[in-house]
Amino acid sequence: MRDSDATMIRSLPLFHDMADDSFEELVRGAYVQSFPPMVDLLIEGDSSDFLHIVIDGTVELTAGWNEGETTMTVLREGATFILAAVVRDAPNLMSARTLEKSKVIMLPAEDVRRVFEQDHAFARAVVRELAFCYRGVIKCVKGLKLRTSLERLANYLLKWQKKLGGDACFTLPVEKRRLASILGMTPENLSRAIKALRPYGVVVTGLNVEITKPDDLKQLAKPTPLIDDTRS
């Protein structure tokens, strides 16, 4: 592993506070790999031998059942995945594949578990990370059960607008059919939902979004930190 990669993951909350030698021990056995787009990294149901960290690019987590597949989330630089499966030594509940050319660090699950035993700061960070992920999924369930697809879309747009700096114009971070899957609808329906948001000041051209009447959109979306806040 390059120094720059080590520095990068060292700065992540999960690894930031741990002892130097614990970090060394983790990094020693790590693999760094670059993958082209659309490569499967993990298959749902397989055992989880490595904790994965996205260094660069984007990775999609999906789940399937009975011919169907849905996108659970899309991960970017700094995100870790299948921590829960590694901790419990249980099969992956989701598949993972690269969307773009991506660089991923893989830490052997054994090492993670061993260092976890030794280093209390790391243990605490793992707890915080898992609690964070848990709360993220809870919010996802709340959105699915309490909101219509139009409302989910409206809140998604507001969330990303804020995340990307708050400008009236911004670019969608994923292609539309994946966005549809994330929001739990079909691509056709997303198309129609986008049109339905036009009266609320939403103009979408390709992946570009402009929100001209944020107050009107918020009145429809009714965002709340208890569902839409990414941190906390």
Partner DNA sequence: CCTTTCGTTTGACATATATCAATCAGGGAT
Partner DNA sequence: ATCCCTGATTGATATATGTCAAACGAAAGG
Q: Which parts of this chain interact with DNA (CB under 7 A)?
A: 148-150, 175-177, 184-192, 194-195, 204, 206
Q: Which of its own copies, DNA, none has residue 149 at its interface (CB below 5 to 8 Å by kind)?
A: DNA
CB under 8 Å, gap of 24 or more: what pairs does 71-77 form? 71/178, 71/181, 71/182, 72/182, 73/182, 74/99, 74/173, 74/174, 74/178, 74/182, 76/173
Query: In the bound complex, what is the minimum distance in angstroms from residue 168's beta carbon to its own copies?
Result: 25
Nearer to DNA, 112 or 193 (CB): 193
Residue closer to its own copies by CB (options 83, 157) is: 83
201-207 long-range contacts (CB < 8 A, ≥24 apart) are: 202/154, 202/157, 204/172, 207/171, 207/172, 207/175, 207/176
Among 13, 45, 166, 199, binds its own copies (CB under 8 A): 45
Q: By C-beta, is 101 or 176 nearer to DNA?
A: 176
Of residues 46 and 167, the one with the C-beta less far from its own copies: 46
Nearest to 97 by CA among 66, 71, 129: 71
> Whose Cβ is closer to its own copies: residue 63's or residue 174's?
63
Size of the site for its own copies (CB under 8 A): 49
Burial degree of 219 (CB within 10 A; 0-12, 13-18, 19+)? exposed
Q: How far is the CB of 101 from its own copies (least distance, A)?
A: 27
Strand intervals (E) in 49-182: 50-56, 59-65, 68-75, 80-81, 95-98, 102-108, 169-171
138 binds, among its own copies, DNA, none (CB under 5 to 8 A by kind): its own copies
Which of 35, 56, 70, 108: binder of its own copies (CB under 8 A)? 70
**Contact with its own copies (CB under 8 A): which of 38, 90, 168, 207?**
90
Counting Cβ atoms within 10 Å, is residue 36 exposed (0-12), middle (13-18) or buried (19+)?
A: exposed
Looking at 28, 163, 198, 222, which residue binds its own copies (CB under 8 A)?
Answer: 222
Site string for its own copies, 3-32 (x = CB under 8 A): ------------------------------
